[in-house]
Every structure is written in C-alpha cells, then in structure tokens.
Amino acid sequence: MHTDLVAALDIGGTKIAGALVDGAGSLLVRAQRPTPAQEGAEAVMGAVRGVLADLAASPLWHRAGAVGIGSAGPVDASAGTVSPVNVPGWRGFPLVDRVAAVTGGLPVTLVGDGVAMTAAEHWLGAARGYDNALCLVVSTGVGGGLVLGGKLHPGPSGNAGHIGHISVDLDGDPCPCGARGCVERIASGPNIARRALDNGWRPGPDGDATAAAVAASARAGDPVAVASFERAAQALAAGIAATATLTDIDIAVVGGGVAGAGEVLFAPLRRSLRDYATLSFVQGLTVTAAVMGTDAGLVGAAAAASTVRSGAANGVRAVAAP
Amino acid sequence: MHTDLVAALDIGGTKIAGALVDGAGSLLVRAQRPTPAQEGAEAVMGAVRGVLADLAASPLWHRAGAVGIGSAGPVDASAGTVSPVNVPGWRGFPLVDRVAAVTGGLPVTLVGDGVAMTAAEHWLGAARGYDNALCLVVSTGVGGGLVLGGKLHPGPSGNAGHIGHISVDLDGDPCPCGARGCVERIASGPNIARRALDNGWRPGPDGDATAAAVAASARAGDPVAVASFERAAQALAAGIAATATLTDIDIAVVGGGVAGAGEVLFAPLRRSLRDYATLSFVQGLTVTAAVMGTDAGLVGAAAAASTVRSGAANGVRAVAAP
C-alpha cells in the first residue's frame, strides 16, 4: 500500500484544523472543529477525534502513513504531551498516544506550532534554501522555530525557537510567563494595542482597538501608533539579533497577524536590527515576511512528520501506538 | 603512518598556546609564545609559526593528522579567517590557509574560543553526556558555545553560542560592540569591578580592583560587592534562560575567571534563573561550574578538529592546504 500522505493536525486555542497533505505540500482533504478550550480534557480530545474522523472518511485516508501535529505550546515532544496555555483542560495531556490509538497505530510526530510554521517556511516558503533560519509568528503571542545545519531543530522538547519568551529587558514589565521584559510582552499584537492606548491613541468610530487598527493609524502618520510599532520592532530586533548571535542564522522570517502591518513593522525592524545585530557574523542577517499564510501550521506539521520519519531532524521521536 | 594526534592551537590576545593532543585528550607536547598583539599581521603569524615549529620539533609530530584552532573571535570558519578584537593587526586574516601551508597540508579546523571550550567540556568535562548544552566563559569578556543534538554546533561561521553579545537590556548601557545592554556589558569581570567602584566599593590596601577582589569583598559580606555580583548573575541568568528557551538545552556550564568567584556568583545565578527560565521545558535547566581549566582551549580545539573530521558537527569545514 502506498502511504504517501501525512495526516496533519494544527491545534490552537480557537480551532483544531486537520488535513491530508501530499509530498508537494498540497492539502488534499481538510477538516476543522472549534476548540472547546474551556471544557475538559476529553471534550477537547473529542474535537481532535472529530477532525480525524472527518479525514478518515475520505477515500484518500488509506494513503496516510503518518500523523504530524503542530500544537499551541508548550509541548513535550519527548513525553508526547501537550499543555497549551489557552487550553486549560490539557495539562500534560498525552496527545501523541491518544492520536496514535485513534489512528490505528500510525507513527505520530509532535512539535510546537512555531516549529511547525518554521518547517513550512523552510520546506516551501521564505526560508527555502536557507540552512540556518529563524521563523517567527507575531500574533496574539510570539512564537518561533529554528532551522540549523539544514534541518528543522525542534529540540528534545519540540519547543526550540520559542523567541516570544526570551527577556530583552531584564528589568522590564512582568510577563504572564513569570519572567520580565519578554519579546512577547513588548511585541505581541495585544501589547502593541495596549501600549498605544496607554499613550493616548484612540480607536476610530468602529471601535477597533486591535494592533491592526493601530497599524492603520501608524500608516496614516499617527505618532503614538508609529511609536508603539517601533517599540515592538525594537524588541523583535533585539530578540532576532540574540538568536542570530547564539545560533548563527542567515535569515529571519516574520509571519503572523502583526506582520500583516507590513512596512509599519518591517521598516523599524530593519533599522533596529542594525542596532543590535552588530557582530561581524550577524551583520548580514536578512529579515523578510513569511509567505505560507494560514495553512503554514498544517503544511509544517506534515513537513515535521516527514522530516522526522526520514531521520533528518534532531531531537524529535516519532511514536507508534502501543 | 598512524596519525592519531591533533596539533591544537589556542589563540588569544595575550598568548598563543599549542599542544599535540591524543585521543584521550592528553596534552603530550606543549608550546607557547606571547601574542605580539599590537604588532602587524605577520608578527602575530610569526608567533603562530614559532609555536608550530616547537611542536614540529617533537618526535611525536609525525603522528599529527590534523590541526584544530580555537581563536579569540570573531572568526569566520567558512572563509577560514580570524579578526580577534584584541589583535588589531589581524582583520580577516587567512589563518586557516596560512596554518595549512606551514604544516604541509594538514587539514585545519577553525572555531571560536568559546566553541573550543564547549567542545572540551562536552568531550571530557562538565557537559559530558549531555546532548544539549551551553558552555560559557565569563572572564574579561563573555563567550560561549553550544552542543545541540549531541554534537558541537559551531554554526557556519564558527561563532555560535556567542552569549556575551546578546542584549538582555535593550535600553541599557552602550556596549563596545555597538549594541546596548549585552550580557558582557553587565557580567564580565571588568564590568563587575566597574559597577562596584561606581557604587562606592573600594579596593583593599593591595589596590586590587579586579572582579576577584570584589568577589573577596562579597564573600566578606560587603553589600555593594554582593550587589554587583547579583547584577552580573541576573544578566547571565537572562542570557542563559534565553539560550535555553531558544535552543532547548539541558545544562549550562559556566567557566572563566569570574566563575572562580564560586557561590558569590553561582548562588544568585541559580536564584535569578528561576526568574527568567519560566517555561515548562526550561525549568529543569541545570547550571554548573566548568571543570576543564586553562587547558580547555587546547583540548577543545583538538576535539573540534576530531569531531569535524569524523563528520559529527554541523557547519564547520576542515580545509586542506592548496
């Protein structure tokens, strides 16, 4: 039997998406359920089972040879468990074993959602052809992943590249993670909006007080809106420069809703990078926008599974059902 | 002919050390010259040639099958050049080709000195048995290196793990590198001493105003001295936590002269790590003292060469003479 497809799952706090993905990264069959994030562990697992059942109803299902999961973090790839911040019912939930059981013993690969997005951008997107890359998602939170030495680098826990929770301001504002001055605490969409509001920016008649509305004001020249994006860009630049200095990457790919602000974010980001990426071996660092869009999580979960199955990534084990 | 030895070079701003190193990490023959750091490129190369000539005079030289170089950075392993900050005559100096020519075509491996120290601690020291590790040197500067997925990770440039120049205080004091708030700007020995002096600490009758003297005062309970080490520890903790969050390491090994302060540094370092290493996958991070001592550079340069020759490291090429 020809098992050339990966059953991919993208698990977030709002929805659980699934797809059968082929070797070219095409999504042949899709399924989706809302995440019952405030319900218990079994209710959330029920939604996962529903997505898998929808996929299994496809005549293509028999070609699925593996499952790849990208999940909101933190995840524990070595234990096969997930504890997504936005899904309180899942703490140390044994997702890998449960999915393996549901799918009749397919090998299951688990990575964090930032790592999945990175796998997608490296396979088919803006990081294609780069052997050393950081990919970031700047959205409600800030996540990321790494490609090192030509391979996805999930790390033993599946969370490597989690740039949102490195501190770039060690005396800065407390972050919900417990630390201070994390990149996410300064650069996430909600924090861009909050900072603008704190400094006197007001939403328009539609009442939209999101980072997207702040971006629109910034494009129109509002100095408070511009300053809020500049501060976010400064924090991202410090974090990207730190990552480059530590891991010797050649490119940083920035995606997620906040990256949709375009030059309002990218222009100050490139300027600030010159301030922080100062050593000779990181001065050539390129920053560019992600290109894979909202399917990146599914494409990347499939890529992570394929990569791991072919033995090309460090630190993630594929787990078969007992 | 049995070529089981590596000719190792440890190139710093003060001295150039060399040794013939065997497969157990023993230094069978040693040589050393002062670095004529303020002279021209050829004078510095002359010292390197002198060290190599001393090694070549040994009856064991015929067993040398490779050269490993750990150099003060930055280095460019892909170009085979070095530009040590403290050796102004060497800027983009083609050390790999020059050493290959001097040694009659032995393959030459070049890494930064922090990477070399890391290779030594991973091979025979405190990081032995750990597949994912950060090793730091806290001294006049702050350097480091990474082991990822069981292998030394020099990165394509040979500088990966350069924790001294990641910013943990994005609005902080200007660093000579051009950025602000770098770990080195807060945690290096000279900065520990400067901060203590700025806050009213005074040296004893011997006039010793180094970090070692501040450490002695801290052990005796001087609150300004204690506070200066606590601030250094906080910056190191933020940097180590950032590295762990990005690369999913299990252990941080801290060496260098400042680490000789012992618990004056390590106690606040462990406390501060709990403040910054907050995500589940980094909470278990261990911090420990380096054990390889002053020979770490030579042992590590040999390890880097051996590792690369056996194909076990990413990103560093061994270069043969033309």
| Domains (range + CATH), chain B | 5-112+302-309 (3.30.420.40), 126-291 (3.30.420.40)
**pLDDT for the residue B309:** 56
In the prediction, which pLDDT does B308 show? Answer: 60
- Whole-complex ipTM: 0.92
B234 lies within 8 A of chain A by CB: yes
CA distances from B244 to A21, A76, A305, B1, B267 (A): 32, 15, 24, 44, 19
Q: Give the rounded percent of residues in chain B with a pLDDT score beyond 70.
A: 95
Contact B246 A245 (CB under 8 A): no
Spatial neighbors of B268 by CB under 8 A, at least 6 apart, are B229, B230, B233, B234
Strands (E), A202-281: 251-255
How many whole angstroms separate alpha carbon A255 and alpha carbon A253? 7
A&B contacts, CB < 8 Å: 162
Q: How far is A254 from chain B (nearest CA, A)?
A: 16
Q: What is the pLDDT of residue B315?
A: 40
CB interface of A with B, residues 300-319, below 8 Å = 314-315
- Amino acid A310: pLDDT: 58
Laid out side by side, the sheet with B133-138 consists of B151-152, B142-148, B133-138, B251-255, B286-289
Which stretches does DSSP call E strand in chain B?
5-11, 15-21, 27-34, 64-71, 75-76, 81-82, 108-112, 133-138, 142-148, 151-152, 251-255, 286-289
Phi, psi for residue B281 in degrees, rounded to 5: -80, -5
Option in A165, A235, A281 nearest B170 (CB): A235
- Hey, are the CB atoms on B163 and A315 less than 8 Å from each other? no
Tell me the pLDDT band of B85, cut-offs 50, 70 and 90.
confident
Predicted confidence at residue A85, as pLDDT, reads 84
CA–CA distance from B46 to each of B33, B42, B49, B109 (Å)? 10, 6, 5, 19
Check residue A316 and give its pLDDT. Answer: 44
The 10s digit of each residue's pLDDT in B43-58 is: 999 999 999 999 999 9
Distance CA A193, CA A50 (A): 36
pLDDT tens for residues B127-164?
A: 999 999 999 999 999 999 999 999 999 999 999 999 99
User: Poorest-confidence range of A195-199, A308-312, B196-200, B261-265?
Assistant: A308-312
B191: closest CA among B173, B167, B203, B207? B173
Q: Min CA distance, B159 vs chain A (Å)?
A: 7
Pick A248's closest partner by Cβ from B160, B166, B167: B160
In this structure, are residues A54 and A47 in contact, taking their beta carbons and an 8 Å threshold?
Answer: no
CB proximity A130 to B under 8 Å: no
Nearest CA in chain A to B314: A149
Residue A319 scores a pLDDT above 70: no
| B19 has pLDDT over 90 | yes
* Residue B25 reports pLDDT greater than 50: yes
DSSP state of A140: S
The string of pLDDT tens digits covering residues A24-82 is 999 999 999 999 999 999 999 999 999 999 999 999 999 999 999 999 988 999 999 99
pLDDT digit string (tens) for A197-207? 999 999 999 99
Among the ranges given (A2-6, B52-56, B239-243), the one the predictor scored with the smallest mean pLDDT: A2-6
Which residue has tokens 């030895």? B5
Tell whether A71 is within 8 A of chain B (Cβ): no
- Is the separation of the CB atoms in B225 and B218 below 8 Å? yes
pLDDT at A73: 87
